[in-house]
Amino acid sequence: MTACTFSLLLLCGMALGPLAEAALFVDTRPELWAEPGSLQEPWAQLELLCRAREPSGSFQLFKDGSAQEPVRLDVPALERRFPLGAVTAATRGLYRCRCRLSDHWSELSDLVEVSGPGSLPPPSLEATPVPWTTPGLQVSLRCRAAFRGVTFQLRREGDAAPQAAQKPDGREAVFPGAQAGNYSCSYRTHAAGAPSAPSATVLVRELAKPPAPTLSLGWQESALRRPGEATTLVCAAPLDAGVDFQLRRGDEELRLPMSSTAPDRVFLRLADLAPSAGGAYTCRYRLREAQGWSEDSEAQELRLNDETLPAPELLAEPATSSPQPGTRVQLRCRAPRAGLRFALLYQEGNSHTQVLRFLSPEGSEALFELREVSVADSGNYSCVYLDTNAPFSGSKPSAPLELRVDGPAPKPRLSALWTGPVSPGHDAVLRCESPVAKVYFQLLRAGDEKPFLQRWSDQPSLDFKLSYVGPQHAGIYSCKYKPRGPSPVLSEPSDPVELKVAVS
């Protein structure tokens, strides 16, 4: 969710049932819209109305990414009007507002464009609850304008005639029953007026099943556990809507305690793990408006190790603890017999042990490859082997093998997903790409002491979105990354990218 929310964490029962009661969300964003003196001439006399969700003593208007002086009220109110009068070049722009809550400001409202005489700004169009259809699921398209009381039109590419809907009191129209296709919408302020510019195109796809969710282990959880321990799996659906979830091991449905902090995800707790609990786990979800389940997530492997079998031997090829950066290192794990499942373990400093990879070779040894090693690969490695048949025994870990790779981590690549100066009030996205996944990314701006933004990613790239850009965002940016763990090692900075903000 993009809005500022408060979440209530609740533990649910033993079944993976509906999550309607699992989380409570409170959207604090105010609503902003334009109120003209007349829809016949909307720009002749215009006010912007900012409406809060609860009485507020302070309101603030933003124009083209820059904050205007807050308006403080003697008596808290639900709304504040900002008169613009006759729209001129000085008052054209992209506006947002916010209101003061008890001890902090709310998130910014949605954007309202004031384009001025001779044009109408495009509306926004979104598919709800998702931008795809499946059997039994009805998708609606919501078209929203800056004005109330306009007439909306929805057009699907290839159709001869658009659909129309008038909303005398509201700012949006909902068109139910969308089929697959490319859609856009527009509006008229009065019957004789010209239509607005069309919205951005929305693609509604027709799918046999909803797309797969993602399944992952909880923060700092390991894919290798001891019998009797617990672990947490996180299943996240690719949509911001309430769904029902199901966890499976192979073809078996598991009914487990769960919790949730958002309608699109669930935390699944596996407690007191039995030796037989190892295997490949998947999850899926079902929208409550539809009947069918989604595609299965990619499998997440979990194994149990009682450490009752003799330790294997781990060898490095080449046989050096200090390989050259950029070279390939092979780690060979040798067990007493064939037909086993091997796991390569990694520990950086005093951090928890990670399972890097599982292998099931035909023989009695597994060969793990580290390609183009860098300082990010420095740490202690070990391996274990596991019997996947009853009684599901496993080995003690091998003696640790330390690798130390000198030099800085390879620098990432930073690219701007825009061209030319950024228009004030629009968004700018900077993409940082690293040679490895599962790292902390930092976005840096020249002259700032602290990172401008920082975030963890499971993937080898991350998009940093600078919302509602104003003059304060201009500058020279670069990015770095740091592998998870206590090590202070940061990569070299990327080549710089300059963000220029156009003169409004």
Q: State the DSSP string of 66-84.
A: EEPPPEEEEEEEEEEEEEE
Cα–Cα distance for residue pair 452/171, rounded to 1 Å: 36
Q: Cα(342)–Cα(410) distance, rounded to whole angstroms?
A: 30
CA distance readout (Å), 425 to 95, 174, 325? 8, 27, 44
Instruction: Classify 376 as helix, strand or coil.
Output: helix
Closest among 144, 153, 142, 92 to 123, alpha carbons compared: 144
Write down the pLDDT at residue 439.
85
Identify the CA nearest to 155 among candidates 131, 129, 181. Answer: 181
Query: Can you tell me the distance from the alpha carbon of 280 to that of 299, in angstroms, rounded to the nearest whole number?
Result: 6
Q: What is the pTM of this model?
A: 0.78
Rounded CA separation 93/149 (Å):
22
329 vs 217: which has the higher pLDDT:
329
First to last CA, the chain: 30
Compute the average pLDDT of residues 470-488. Answer: 83
Lowest mean pLDDT among 13-22, 277-286, 295-304, 490-499: 13-22
Assign domain 413-499 to its CATH superfamily: Immunoglobulins (2.60.40.10)
Give φ, ψ of 471 to 5 degrees.
Answer: -55, -30
Same fold, 124-206 and 413-499: yes
User: Is residue 15's pLDDT more than 60?
Assistant: no
List of residues 6+ apart from 252 with CB closer than 8 A:
none
The residues, ordered by sequence, that sit 6+ positions from 217 with a Cβ below 8 Å of its Cβ are 223, 231, 232, 233, 234, 300, 302
* pLDDT (0 to 100) of residue 487: 57
Q: Mean per-residue pLDDT for 467-484?
A: 91
Could you tell me if 266 and 245 are in contact, meaning their C-beta atoms sit under 8 angstroms apart?
A: yes
Residue 3 has pLDDT above 50, yes or no: no
- Domain 10-114: CATH superfamily, name plus number: Immunoglobulins (2.60.40.10)
The CATH code of domain 313-403 reads 2.60.40.10
Fold of 214-304: Immunoglobulin-like (2.60.40)
Alpha carbons 294 and 60: distance in angstroms, whole number = 43
Q: Beta partners for 482?
A: 440
Pick the CATH number of 124-206 from 2.40.50.140, 2.60.40.10, 1.10.3720.10, 3.40.50.720: 2.60.40.10
Enumerate residues 6+ apart whose C-beta is below 8 A from 219. Answer: none
Residue 276: how many other CB atoms lie within 10 Å = 12
Over residues 312-321, the mean pLDDT reads 94
Average pLDDT, the chain: 88
- 241: burial class by Cβ within 10 Å (0-12, 13-18, 19+)? middle
| pLDDT on residue 260 | 84
Q: List the domain boundaries for the chain.
A: 10-114, 124-206, 214-304, 313-403, 413-499
At 242, the pLDDT band (50, 70, 90 cuts) reads: confident
Q: How far is CA 325 from CA 375, 406, 408, 460, in A?
A: 7, 7, 9, 19
Close Cβ partners of 59 (under 8 Å, ≥ 6 residues apart)? 30, 50, 52, 70, 71, 73, 80, 97, 98, 99, 100
Q: pLDDT exceeding 90 applies to what percent of the chain?
A: 71
Q: Residue 307 corresponds to which tokens in the numbers above?
A: 């450490």
